[in-house]
Chains A and B, each alone.
Chain A
């Protein structure tokens, strides 16, 4: 073609493209997140939604699309959707309806998916996220909508032999999904991850979904393209939808990869959003690349129309108010209150809140009980979380009750136990499921009186004259060695008190 000569690399446009740096390009990201709602039964029938049961053991005439069977909507799915919408500051529809999205696939029994097209249950909203780059700064990501739909089943393709059949399991068919769609407000891979983390946290807090990504309870597609400054104008690259994102890391890495790939492709061919339709690419975890997914010509023609088997659902103001009034405090509110009312640093508050409502409640009870939120934070944020991690337990399974923990911290705060001994006591409490009192007894910890302390210090000075000389000549750090020895002689000796007394005796 003659045209291609004009468009070859020698043209001025191309030269200009080569001059642009990747860092000048703005990455435009929108997410579509599918959340499996935590209902007992499916969206339109009474079959169980439980994961991992024997194939095709959780189906009925409705979810297998038998002739004549009809769907009836699950109340709890509606409630959980409204709860989610309220938590994402969405406008809740007063009237919502159902539409059919028509396409053929063997794990889609009816040949259409019941979804929502023009009247989603949740309208516009937003979610503020903390960006890692500038701690404390938040970014507002606008939510476009969230709609309810039924999940498809599972196809198992045997790739080893091309002739073999694919297997179809319809257990998952009809499981309720809420698809949350953001505006393309996300600008970096890290922000995408932050959005998902915060969303996941919220969904956990409000008991809408366990968001287990391995089980597919939280699935994410990312729409990505670039805005590139070129000759005083913005050029947009073709939009790519990345599918198969099964972990936060995959989301982050695929976006990073895709942005770079699009930039290079644009430098190469100069194609813009006007030149190419939206493309679907799959993320390959093995190769850490996105690859073009083959698309059927008609895949986009879903022929949406209102589902005549279902009628509209009207949502009363009072129902929304009721759900609103029952809404638990959201992570952002809790972080804020940990900072303002409990004096935690924002990062520390974030760590506590990120552990879920159970840890927050634990913290609040201990902080209130011991009246020292910093100490409570230090101990819970470090010791408790480490132990939970090691024991692979949730806070509800943790053997030390908040009351017992408070008692322990009170002893630490009073100086009765030093940090080190305190941790020994905590370990014993966890290991044997006993109270701090019992642990102290078991460890043989008892208070050391002043005369014992005087004797101990005198002995140390007598036996360590060289160290004493060092201290006298100004090496104050050398005192640490004496404190160490003191602990060996009497583990119950409080290092702070020992240090004070030694200093007084040595330097006078």
Chain B
């Protein structure tokens, strides 16, 4: 088997056993990037220090030093997360020339566990989008059919894992930005509980919703990455001190008796027929695993997208005020300060980002705050309460990750609302702060991946990963990779 076909846990085992070297491993994936990135455009930049770091790991291993649990494992990082000394663009012209002066907490943790950052992945500008078409650096293509979007905003991370340009990747999820592209690209993506993973060094889109998480082929690999990146960080005030449960250790605990809730509303109208069928098939798998399936209701989640499209732009309008041409961004030509601001922000931001800043600015401005931001935040409370009540009855909530498989490039670019509805099943977890995972189920008849979403109680990532892992024990969908050369049409 070639290296690129191996899962991260196997790669780590082989590295530890001395069967392969970190240098070989990094070299292999760099070559794959070299060969395939022109088709996929999954990476915005590739690290020029990766080989050096791999050699250092190999040397340390030779010297008998004790190494971290990811020693020598190549990893791709979404370009909205700071890696010291590397370009960190957030997919924006605004930060085209920005070199991060520091490591995000999760990058620090990954590095000290021995992981090697091989590159920074493409994304919708400032994570605003569901297709990676809003990147200043061009859209990413879905390796399952290159005329389709990989989803977004972490489309580069999803595409590079699906296309095996990196064994695993890190993404961030504000309204579905890990799970939706994971679903579109046929991989596993976990959005952890809000506060579970430090946001320090994650370029903020909407601070109360953003969360960093793993994007991998298997749930087991996600559990492995979570064992490194999860946990309290004193540099992030919103980071939780809650004990991190050992997901790796609990993966095989049988699911018998676990209660899984299904919300019928989410399996009805508007849903792509094949998505509905495959999700129902997946439900049968969980029944076989001993789960009890129960019907639940989440009455307020139908307002989730509307609440989300107020709250996220409001926070974004403020979070993105720092991109002003003064300290580290692109700066446009101007004769005076006001002109400098307006031209810099007019030219430095793409259309979707400008549109959301406009929306957020409007919704927060004098006289509108109560009708929009406050009202949406109250609806958000109701959504959270729905989940609190549902989780009294069940341990997990199951449904589709997205209403359809990956759509075509350009299909929704003129229709923001259609694009926003791609997030219909994912935004609620962000609003409520709960963890959720997307795992691949049987693809569509045209070979497009479909994702199943499991949502869990706050800080119970271990249960999500356990359920996902055992589903993957029973099904082959996570093991298949797109054929090369990539299909250009579906």
A and B touch in the complex (CB under 8 A): yes
| A residues neighboring B (CB under 8 Å) | 61, 64-73, 100, 102, 104, 106, 109-112, 166, 168, 300-301, 303-305, 308-311
- From 327 to 355 in chain B, residues with beta carbon under 8 angstroms from any chain A beta carbon are 327-328, 337, 341
Could you give 13 example pairs across A and B, Cβ below 8 Å?
Answer: A66-B101, A66-B327, A68-B201, A70-B237, A72-B235, A72-B236, A110-B322, A111-B321, A111-B322, A301-B366, A305-B318, A308-B315, A309-B204
Q: Is the CB of B361 within 8 A of A68?
A: no
Q: Is the CB of B237 within 8 A of A305?
A: no
Tell me the bound Cα distance from A102 to B360 in angstroms. Answer: 12
Q: Is the CB of B237 within 8 A of A72?
A: yes
- Determine the chain A residues whose CB is within 8 A of the CB of B81 once the complex forms: 68
Secondary structure dominating the interface of A: loop
Q: Is the CB of A102 within 8 A of B237?
A: no
- Determine the chain A residues whose CB is within 8 A of the CB of B322 once the complex forms: 65, 67, 109-111
Interface residues on B, range: 35 or more
Q: Is the CB of B327 within 8 A of A109?
A: yes
- Determine the chain A residues whose CB is within 8 A of the CB of B328 once the complex forms: 66-67
Q: Residues 355-398 of chain B: 1 if any A CB is under 8 Å from the residue's CB, otherwise 0?
A: 00000010011100100010000000000000000000000000
B172 → A minimal CB distance (Å): 11
* Closest B residue, CB atoms, query A310: B237
With contacts A67-B100, A71-B237, A303-B317 known, what are 17 further pairs, Cβ within 8 A? A61-B102, A64-B327, A65-B322, A66-B100, A66-B327, A67-B82, A67-B203, A68-B104, A70-B200, A70-B236, A110-B321, A111-B320, A303-B365, A309-B207, A309-B237, A310-B238, A311-B238
Q: Residues 68-88 of chain B: 1 if any A CB is under 8 Å from the residue's CB, otherwise 0?
A: 000000000000011000001
Tell me the bound Cα distance from A71 to B207 in angstroms. Answer: 12
- Residue of A301, A304, A305 contacting most chain B CB atoms (<10 Å): A305
Q: Is the CB of A311 within 8 A of B318?
A: no
- Determine the chain A residues whose CB is within 8 A of the CB of B235 once the complex forms: 70, 72
Q: Is the CB of A106 within 8 A of B314?
A: no
Q: Is the CB of A166 within 8 A of B327?
A: no
- Residue of A61, A68, A168 contacting most chain B CB atoms (<10 Å): A68
- Determine the chain A residues whose CB is within 8 A of the CB of B88 once the complex forms: 67-68
| B residues neighboring A (CB under 8 Å) | 81-82, 88, 90, 95, 98, 100-102, 104, 199-204, 206-208, 234-238, 314-315, 317-318, 320-322, 324, 326-328, 337, 341, 361, 364-366, 369, 373
- Residue of A69, A110, A308 contacting most chain B CB atoms (<10 Å): A308
* Closest A residue, CB atoms, query B326: A106
Tell me the bound Cα distance from A110 to B318 in angstroms. Answer: 8
Q: Is the CB of A66 within 8 A of B318?
A: no
Known: A67-B90, A68-B202, A69-B200. A303 touches B364 (CB 8 A): yes
A331 → B minimal CB distance (Å): 37
- Determine the chain B residues whose CB is within 8 A of the CB of A300 once the complex forms: 366
- Determine the chain B residues whose CB is within 8 A of the CB of A70 once the complex forms: 199-200, 235-237
Tell me the bound Cα distance from A383 to B385 in angstroms. Answer: 72
Q: Is the CB of A303 within 8 A of B200?
A: no
Return the contact of A104 from the options B90, B102, B315, B341 (Cβ within 8 A).
Answer: B341
Q: Is the CB of A305 within 8 A of B369?
A: yes
- Determine the chain B residues whose CB is within 8 A of the CB of A68 once the complex forms: 81-82, 88, 100, 104, 199-204
Tell me the bound Cα distance from A104 to B341 in angstroms. Answer: 9
Q: Is the CB of B324 within 8 A of A305?
A: no
Known: A303-B318, A308-B315, A309-B237. A65 touches B327 (CB 8 A): yes
